[in-house]
Amino acid sequence: MKSHGSAAACGCEAGSHGSGRKAVAVDPAVRERNLKRLRRIEGQVRGLQKMVSEDRYCADILNQVSSVHEALRGVARELLRNHLAHCAATAIRAGDVEAEAMYDELVDLMHTHSR
Domain annotation covers residue 104: yes
Domain annotation covers residue 89: yes
pLDDT at 18 over 80: no
Q: What is the DSSP string of the chain?
A: ----TTB-TTSPBP-SSTT----S---HHHHHHHHHHHHHHHHHHHHHHHHHHTT--HHHHHHHHHHHHHHHHHHHHHHHHHIIIIIIHHHHHH-HHHHHHHHHHHHHHHHHHT-
pLDDT of residue 71: 96
pLDDT at 5 over 60: no
Mean pLDDT, range 31-38, rounded to an integer = 96
- What is the tens place of the pLDDT at every residue in 75-110? 999 999 999 998 999 999 998 999 999 999 999 998
Domain annotation covers residue 16: no
pLDDT at 46 over 90: yes
User: Where residue 63 sits, what CATH number does that domain have?
Assistant: 1.20.58.1000
Number of domains in the chain: 1
pLDDT at 7 over 70: no
Domain annotation covers residue 4: no
